[in-house]
Chains A and B, each alone.
Chain A
């Protein structure tokens, strides 16, 4: 990876990123501590060494920085990130959260007179939200506020489950993969047990036990969706533990937990993060299905799936009651999935489907 020469005639042009010259001192003659250390008595053997002079002039890219660089250049993932952030911001600022007030003047639990059959007042041309941009439901509640509340709940459940299940899965996978033996046998058979039970049935039973609050529900869902990650992490750890740097750490006298936390897990970060995003997408759909079936979030609270289930009778006459929450489910699930794709490409550029 020799740096391409920077055009000397155009000192005003900043060197391209990645050329390894971005941070060279622009002042001639100024000692640059990061400049390659040339020895004056360069012998021929150094000149013809295939050992490259370590390029100390450029910025140091750690693995993490390289990944970030690739991720930020992934257009679809970036667009998805923007969409997801906008959706989140919209959901949380519009109706506020808890005692923090939002900028939208209607509450999701207040009924009102149904105006114009509850038809949405949102106009695209000329753009104006009107009184009830997403329309009203049967009892005149503002459907925009309801959808925002549902989005909040869905996002919270999804991210909590994403994080919790990732922790569980990583821990179980790492222990099983590193210690092998009976620990692996026990943990992996338990994982198999969870895998063979139909996910939706298991989640429904646990959702019922949770009783409708979103935090117990998230906890319960976390207990069913960690299995895939556990298997993935175990596989990664199995191959990493045979690598020489792990053997070297063992030979130094490093304790098992330090090896797992310091040497093995950082190297599985790619798998873990990618899997976590995909888990979030799955959870959104799972929570929606559960709520639709009536095992998820219980009234008076609501979620996107709950909204669809509540108004399934009204679809023929008031289709917007289906379209708005449906669109938000789709939007969140898609953007999170694309984010996962972008992360995977960033962590493992060899798998990238885009031509390099």
Chain B
């Protein structure tokens, strides 16, 4: 079964020893509005022990291409071309045989570890399921194998964890479990579909370390699907770039990332903000004005505490004793990983959640002391942009009405002047005026986010709260939104609380940076100081974990990060097994029974 092909057998162009081989893959979907040509003739292969990154933005067909290898596309897909998995042409084999191949020859690591795991089954059950289905181990043997797998992916106390449910684990641990499940039957090739997109940067770096050691030690081929060029630089041996269903460029990671040939690849790489490159990238230019100490305070937090009440348990303290200020005309980046309380502070600034103690002064007014009508008047002076472009606009309202909503609510202007204001705003966010009567579902994510920006600026706010405004967008789209955002900030001079997990975006925009961890301020100060010369351990970890889209630089950064981790007394994540032993085991444990009972 596991005929170990030497990793050196395949050069970039040779696909004879490939564990996964796509030939002229062409996929069309029949929909209500006609046929969508999702993949247009893609050829690609993955050799054992090799990571091939399939890169592209949304709609490029990268996920669809990979799904053809699992044969898990929906029923309205028409597939042409040949997919070979471990030497078998899977387009010809019956479903029964395909089921046997899934998990055993080809496995999958999904994007969202919470939804990839079944919340009502224990970790152990989900791990042993694959083993028992494929007849690799049953009963006690499967249990001990599951423990072993958890140990391999670096989950502490595997004996205890195996009886736990997914919600009892952290996001990173859940993703490790997903990887363990993928590994359970010793597959020849793993498809990792955006395996770290839903994770925090520090966790992402750990998971990438784990995947890297996996391919080194087990000689597994990995097809890594991602949109993050930093992840590509960190992981990939070879890179294939897809654009609108076509493969536009293919080559080694160094070739593609350092010397891109195709225009699209250049655009893509040019749109990635680079951490440490500071201001003036991608045409985003925020004037780095000398901090005006005299300016009025837009936000003044003194010892703010925010608690969420829980039934029958002590309240959860999401924000704990946080103090910082935002001055007029200044962009303050609020940085932290999930659970740091950064969005909670943003919601408190909008008056949506009350503070448990401490003082939150907004534009000179104390939020806690305001009456309803005063709060409404205050809200007129604040704009808001949310993260999810799909959810932040009412799908039943035409775009013009969405933008006009603040004026209607606060009874500003008449019909004519409102219309003029909307046209002015649409011009400002570079959308054609004709979208006035269109609906949000007719425009794409970045355009919707621009509409959100327009809506936030309708009443010329003094303060803008932007909660991860670009993290759901593709990089090239993000670049444009950031550009528009920076232009508008320079024009309207609003103060901005910019909440983000992406340090490079904050580096690009913010004047001040506040780093949060578990509801507490770790470090705060000027951008240059925090992002280029961090003093605190947590900030250093955060900065070291953010990958950059340059393979050589990323290799150095990885080494530096590992050194940093060791200096903090942490160990570097890796697969805790030697490759030979793993393969041997899975051989001996295979009972000679029908695996498809």
Contact = CB atoms under 8 A, between A and B. Distances in A.
Given A34-B434, A54-B432, A248 B444 contact: no
A248 B406 CA distance: 10
A6 B435 CA distance: 24
Given A37-B432, A51-B447, A244 B59 contact: no
A50 B455 contact: no
B350 A18 contact: no
Interface in A108-158: none
A345 to B, nearest CB: 12
A252 B431 contact: no
B36 interface: yes
Nearest to A258: B409
A255 B452 CA distance: 20
Interface residues of A, number: 48
A18 B35 CA distance: 11
A2 B442 contact: no
Contacts of B57: 50
A314 interface: no
B379 A45 contact: no
Contacts, number: 146
Contact of B442 (A55, A258, A355, A356): A55
A60 B438 contact: yes
A224 B258 CA distance: 71
A246 to B, nearest CB: 8
B281 to A, nearest CB: 14
B446 interface: yes
A56 interface: yes
Contact of B391 (A2, A48, A243): A243
A79 interface: no
A252 B571 CA distance: 48
A65 to B, nearest CB: 9
Given A48-B267, A50-B474, A248-B455, A70 B32 contact: yes
A105 B375 CA distance: 70
B6 interface: no
A63 B394 CA distance: 11
Which among A1, A243, A248, A255 has the greatest number of chain B C-beta atoms within 10 A? A248
B476 A48 contact: yes
Interface in B253-297: 263-264, 266-268, 270-271
Nearest to A268: B396
B39 to A, nearest CB: 14
B431 A54 contact: yes
Interface stretch (B10-18, B324-332, B382-390): B382-390
B309 to A, nearest CB: 13
Given A51-B444, A253-B376, A253-B410, A45 B476 contact: yes
Nearest to A56: B434
Which among A4, A33, A50, A355 has the greatest number of chain B C-beta atoms within 10 A? A50
A323 to B, nearest CB: 42
B437 A60 contact: yes
Given A50-B477, A63-B396, A245-B392, A252 B444 contact: no
A349 B264 contact: no
A67 to B, nearest CB: 11
B394 A252 contact: no
B516 to A, nearest CB: 21
B243 A48 contact: yes
Contacts of B398: 62
Contacts of B409: 249, 252-255, 258
A212 B375 CA distance: 54
Contacts of A56: 432, 434-435, 438
Give chain A's interface secondary structure class.
Answer: loop
Contacts of B480: 49, 51
A31 interface: no
Interface in A36-67: 37, 44-45, 47-52, 54-56, 60-64
Contact of A63 (B34, B244, B395, B437): B395
Contacts of B393: 245
Which among A18, A51, A252, A356 has the greatest number of chain B C-beta atoms within 10 A? A252
A52 B444 contact: yes
Contacts of B592: none
Given A50-B59, A51-B447, A54-B435, A252 B405 contact: yes
Nearest to B380: A253
Interface in B408-454: 409-410, 431-432, 434-435, 437-439, 441-444, 446-447, 452
B339 interface: no
Interface in B68-122: 75-76
Interface string A256-282: 001000110011010000000000000
Interface residues of B, number: 67
B568 interface: no
Interface string A57-84: 0001111100000100000000000000
Nearest to A20: B33
B171 interface: no
A59 B358 CA distance: 53
B194 to A, nearest CB: 16
A48 B263 contact: yes
B213 interface: no
Contacts of A19: 33-34
A310 B410 CA distance: 62
Contact of A44 (B263, B379, B441, B477): B263
Nearest to B60: A50
Contact of B75 (A47, A245, A253, A355): A355
Contacts of B268: 48
Interface in A191-219: none
B58 interface: yes
Contacts of B375: 253
B352 interface: yes
B405 A247 contact: no
Interface in B239-253: 243-244
Interface in A1-45: 1-4, 16, 18-19, 33-34, 37, 44-45
B489 to A, nearest CB: 19
Contacts of A255: 409
Contacts of B567: none
A242 B434 CA distance: 30
Given A33-B434, A44-B266, 18 more contacts: A1-B31, A18-B33, A19-B33, A48-B263, A49-B480, A50-B477, A51-B447, A54-B447, A62-B398, A63-B396, A244-B387, A245-B395, A248-B384, A248-B455, A249-B409, A251-B350, A255-B409, A266-B397
20 contacts: A4-B34, A16-B34, A34-B434, A45-B267, A45-B476, A62-B398, A64-B396, A244-B386, A244-B391, A245-B393, A245-B394, A248-B455, A250-B350, A251-B350, A251-B384, A252-B410, A263-B397, A266-B396, A355-B76, A356-B32
Interface of B: 30-36, 57-60, 75-76, 243-244, 263-264, 266-268, 270-271, 347, 350-352, 375-376, 379-380, 382, 384, 386-388, 391-398, 405-406, 409-410, 431-432, 434-435, 437-439, 441-444, 446-447, 452, 455, 465, 474, 476-477, 480
Nearest 7 A/B pairs, CB to CB: A253-B379, A266-B396, A244-B392, A251-B350, A50-B57, A18-B33, A48-B264
